[in-house]
Structures are given as C-alpha cells and as structure tokens.
Chains A and B, each alone.
Chain A
C-alpha cells in the first residue's frame, strides 16, 4: 500500500498532472469556486446554484433536457453522416441501409425520436417559462433568443424531414416550401411581388424568389436535397449552438435560473 500511495504522490507532483490540474482537491468554498472557474467545461455551469434552481417541480428541467437531446442529436447525426449520401441516386437506399445493413440500425431511429422529443421538450420549456413569468424583465431578451431557438429547432426538423427522400419527404417539403412563395416581396405569389415589375416583366418570379433560394431550383429536386442536407447538418446547428451559448449565459447574468429575483 505505501508503494501505491507513493506512486500517487509522484504522479501528482509530475509536470503532466500539474499542467492539467491547476489546483489541489478543493477543501473550502474558495477552492471549489476556483476549480469551477478555471475549467472550461465546469465554468459553463454556475459556481453556485440557488436551491430553487434545482427544484424539478418548478423548472421541469426542460431546458436542460432540450440541451441534452441536442447533444444526442449531434452525436447520432455525425454518426449517420458516415453512411448517408445526399444524392438522388443514394439518399433513399442509404436510409434503408442504415436501418438494415449498418450495425446498430437503431441509430437513425434514435436520431428521429430525438427530434420528436426535442420539439416536445422545447415546447414544455417554453410553457414553463411562460407560466412562471420568467420571460419578464430583465429576462425579456433571453425570451427573444429562446423564440429564435424554437424556430431553429423547427427548421432542423423541417430540413431533416426531406433527407430520407421518400414520397412523404418529397411531398411534405413541396407543400412546406410552397409557403415561401407567399413571402412578402420575396415570394413570387406574396404581397408586394406584383409591384416589383419592369414593364410587364416580373422581377420576382418562380426562378428567383425566396422559395427558389431555399430549394436551389423550381421544384424539390437534387438541389433541394443538397441544400437541406447542408442546412440540416451544418448551418442551423451552428447558429443554434451560438445562440444556445448566449441563452445560457444570459440565464446566469439575468439572475440565475428563474427563481424569485
């Protein structure tokens, strides 16, 4: 036993150990705070949480669960990207393969269930924040950030919807993207598009409006599949991650988790 403890001591005195852990085992409040403040992962969490902040009956933990599911979606999504090819030729069959040939065929289902669950938790989180009045000043800015995050969550589901490239996907996105035709001034059937004319030439038409930009074409085809893939895997998650950082930061700066101010 003394040999082992001696080894432990030597390890703790080594440069490698000291370069990773800047502090001894914390024994007082100051030490604990220091550990949290000097660790990149721990510092994401507040040094101290009010007792009301961990009352599950009050918070439902829905914000935390949403973030947890976002992490699950990120990990499973990255794994799915190893097999899925967003082309007309392979998209549909790759999804079949992911279920039937690839080990752990449940991976894609986890990703899909996670998407459903995330919508539910986001919605419940919003409901809780509303019912407890936590959107009121000084938290009104964070509420607005949250609304954008809700929109991004819905867009993640919408863009992911197309990727299986089956009949349901194609026609659902056809129907969904047709709404962009009615965008004011930017959609060729929207209000204001009729005013943007040069002589009898429409400046906003089916070949250059908001829907076209979304689909990369006049209908849901190869361009739309690739665009939705990039939006789903890179663009929207990136924007959402940045806004989530702002969201969490503001939770702490605006008075902590929704306890009484």
Chain B
C-alpha cells in the first residue's frame, strides 16, 4: 500500500493524468451508450454485456422472464433476432457502431501504448483501454462479411480467427513440449547402468559354510548366510526399523542394530528395541552347477507367512 504510493509519487502529475483519463473514459462511455441507446434491442448478448440498468432492453426482459410464459419468451427472442437481422442488413456488413473504429485502433496500438506510457506519451491511452474493456461489442455483432472468413485476408494480413487458431496450436505445442521435457527430466534421474553389486549372485557350495551365522557377504551383498543342521537361509542385513545394518554379536548370539538398539535372534525374529518386524530373507536356491544362488529381488517376510515358502530356505 504505502509502497505503491511512493512509486507513484515520483511522478507528481500522475494522479492528475489518471483523473483526466477517468473523466474522458466516462464521457466516451456515455457517448457510446447514447449512440447505442436507440439500437438497444440489437442482439441479446450486446444488451447483457454492456447496457446500463436503466435501459429498456435486456434488463426489463430479464425481470419479466420469471413472470411470463414460455411462449412470450420465444416471441421476444424471435423479435430480437429479426431486428438484429434487419440492423445488420441495413449496415451492409460494416462495423457496428461509430465508436467501434477508435476502439479497434486503440486495440492495435495497445501494446505500444503500454510500453511507452511511462513518461512521455499523451494521457488518453488508459482512457481508450477502459473503453475497450467496458463497451466493445460481443463477437457476433462484429462478425465480418463472408469475404473475410478465410484465414488470411487481403494484403496478407491474418484475420482474428486465423490468429486464434494459430495461437491455440502454438500453446498446445508448447504445453506438449514442456510435458515431454518434464518427463525426460524425470527419466534422466534413473540411470540405465548401476555400479552396484548384482541383486542375484552365487555364494559357492553349501558345504563351504559352517553352522551358525556367516558374515562373508555382508559388506558386498548385505546378506548373512545362516546355517543350521536342517536348513540354510539368507538373511538380509537391513534393520526393519529404519534401515541401518545390524552387527552379529557372537557372544550374545544376536543381531544388534547400532542405530537404535533393535535386537534379532539368529533366525531373524526381533525381540528387543524399536524394530517392528523380523528381518527379511532372500530367495535361496541351488543353481545348475550345484552352487547356492541368492536372489535379493525376491524377499520373504515372516509376518506374512512367507518363510514357509520352499524358496526361502535350503533343505540340507
């Protein structure tokens, strides 16, 4: 609020100019209303968009709609249409109102006016812009004659309709290109080649492992190989609390997570600390050459009953 005041105060004459522009806009609007007053029934849309409330056309019709019957409405519409048709014929396809011409001219120069308004221009551009905004007729009223309906008018000028067709196309292409760019940006974040150990790997023969927890693959593949007298399974060394790597404490016969103190039995079942569920096991099978194959893309969760699955352990 205060900031805008200060910006304006640099140009002392601006309030004056604004006042004069407002007055001029008001005068122009009144003149146009007076000119359009006798033709107020011209087209329904024109009435609705620009006529003042004391006009006899659209407003009173709207007031009567609630009371009158459907026939009456249809009658009125038919009459209005006939009148509009007459008016158009009388004008012979010319522009609708005398004040329309300066308005159109102002529209074509609006950009330049906006750019140069700051210091040196005449004071009436804002006024003309107000005129455009408030009283420019609805599109049907200024529909040109049939010879103007091609995309390019005489003299190589683009028509309004042709311009909007191209504008729509341009915006559609721009949106499509932006969407494609965004998708590409997202895809860029996912590399095709990962410099990580494989998810599925052979760990040698079952006879190579002693009973108990074997840590030889923990660093590289994040698994413990746990072997008992009956079976052998691969326990994934990721704590089910928040993903740290627990340590195997041989003396206490448990896995213990250094981050928040979760504890797990050798089987992977949790028994202390914040971990909400047992450790996960990876798929473990025999490869064709008799070696043991561990596949981490397939995980088995105790709480879902997965540990009964024959691929979650190796019978010995």
| Interface of A toward B, CB cutoff 8 Å | 30, 33-34, 37, 46-48, 50, 171, 174-175, 178, 205, 208, 212-213, 216-219, 221-223, 252-253, 255-256, 261
Residue contacts A-B, CB under 8 angstroms, 15 given = A30-B9, A47-B3, A48-B3, A171-B258, A174-B243, A175-B242, A175-B244, A178-B242, A205-B297, A213-B190, A218-B194, A219-B196, A221-B196, A256-B2, A256-B3
Report the minimum CB–CB distance from B240 to chain A (whole Å).
11
Complex contact A216–B191 (CB within 8 A): yes
Bound CA span A217–B194, Å: 7
Interface residues on B, range: 20 to 34
Complex contact A48–B196 (CB within 8 A): no
Q: Which residues of A sit under 8 angstroms from B3, Cβ to Cβ? A: 46-48, 252-253, 256
Q: Which residues of A sit under 8 angstroms from B9, Cβ to Cβ? A: 30, 33
Complex contact A218–B196 (CB within 8 A): yes
Knowing A33-B9, A212-B190, the reply to whether A171 touches B1 (Cβ < 8 A) is: no
Report B161-192 residues with CB < 8 Å from chain A CB: 186, 189-191
Complex contact B6–A178 (CB within 8 A): no
User: Which among A48, A175, A212, A255 is the interface contact of B6 at CB below 8 angstroms?
Assistant: A48
Knowing A208-B190, A212-B190, A261-B1, the reply to whether A30 touches B196 (Cβ < 8 A) is: no
Complex contact B2–A48 (CB within 8 A): yes
User: Which among B191, B194, B195, B244 is the interface contact of A174 at CB below 8 angstroms?
Assistant: B244
Q: Which residues of A sit under 8 angstroms from B191, Cβ to Cβ? A: 216, 223
Complex contact B194–A213 (CB within 8 A): no
Report B254-276 residues with CB < 8 Å from chain A CB: 258-259
Complex contact B10–A213 (CB within 8 A): no
Q: Which residues of A sit under 8 angstroms from B242, Cβ to Cβ? A: 174-175, 178
Bound CA span A218–B196, Å: 8
Which of A34, A37, A174 is most buried by chain B, counting CB atoms within 10 A of its CB? A174
Q: Which residues of B sit under 8 angstroms from A34, Cβ to Cβ? A: 10
Residue ID in chain B nearest A177 by CB atoms: B243
Residue ID in chain A nearest B259 by CB atoms: A171
Knowing A171-B259, A175-B243, the reply to whether A213 touches B196 (Cβ < 8 A) is: no
Residue ID in chain A nearest B1 by CB atoms: A255
Complex contact B10–A30 (CB within 8 A): yes
Report the minimum CB–CB distance from A162 to chain B (whole Å).
14
Bound CA span A2–B262, Å: 84
Known: A216-B191, A256-B1. 13 other contacts (CB 8 A): A37-B7, A46-B6, A47-B3, A50-B2, A175-B244, A213-B186, A213-B190, A217-B194, A219-B222, A222-B195, A223-B195, A256-B2, A256-B3
Bound CA span A173–B244, Å: 10
Bound CA span A217–B199, Å: 12
Q: Which residues of B sit under 8 angstroms from A208, Cβ to Cβ? A: 190
Report the minimum CB–CB distance from B132 to chain A (whole Å).
27
Report B134-164 residues with CB < 8 Å from chain A CB: none
Bound CA span A83–B168, Å: 52
Knowing A221-B196, A261-B1, the reply to whether A216 touches B189 (Cβ < 8 A) is: yes
Report the minimum CB–CB distance from B70 to chain A (whole Å).
46
Bound CA span A2–B24, Å: 58
Q: Which residues of B sit under 8 angstroms from A212, Cβ to Cβ? A: 190
Bound CA span A34–B6, Å: 11
Complex contact B10–A178 (CB within 8 A): no
Complex contact B2–A217 (CB within 8 A): no
Report the minimum CB–CB distance from B278 to chain A (whole Å).
16
Q: Which residues of A sit under 8 angstroms from B189, Cβ to Cβ? A: 213, 216
Per-position binary interface string of chain B over residues 1-29, scored 1 when its CB falls under 8 Å from any chain A CB and 0 otherwise: 11110110110000000000000000000
Q: Which residues of A sit under 8 angstroms from B2, Cβ to Cβ? A: 48, 50, 255-256
Residue ID in chain B nearest A252 by CB atoms: B3
Report the minimum CB–CB distance from B282 to chain A (whole Å).
12
User: Which among B4, B196, B244, B297 is the interface contact of A171 at CB below 8 angstroms?
Assistant: B244
Bound CA span A48–B2, Å: 8
Complex contact A175–B259 (CB within 8 A): yes
Residue ID in chain A nearest B2 by CB atoms: A256
Q: Which residues of B sit under 8 angstroms from A174, Cβ to Cβ? A: 242-244
Q: Which residues of B sit under 8 angstroms from A50, Cβ to Cβ? A: 2
Complex contact B190–A33 (CB within 8 A): no
Residue ID in chain A nearest B222 by CB atoms: A219
Q: Which residues of B sit under 8 angstroms from A48, Cβ to Cβ? A: 2-3, 6
Q: Which residues of B sit under 8 angstroms from A255, Cβ to Cβ? A: 1-2
Residue ID in chain A nearest B194 by CB atoms: A217
Residue ID in chain B nearest A46 by CB atoms: B3
Complex contact B1–A178 (CB within 8 A): no
Report the minimum CB–CB distance from B218 to chain A (whole Å).
13
Residue ID in chain B nearest A214 by CB atoms: B189
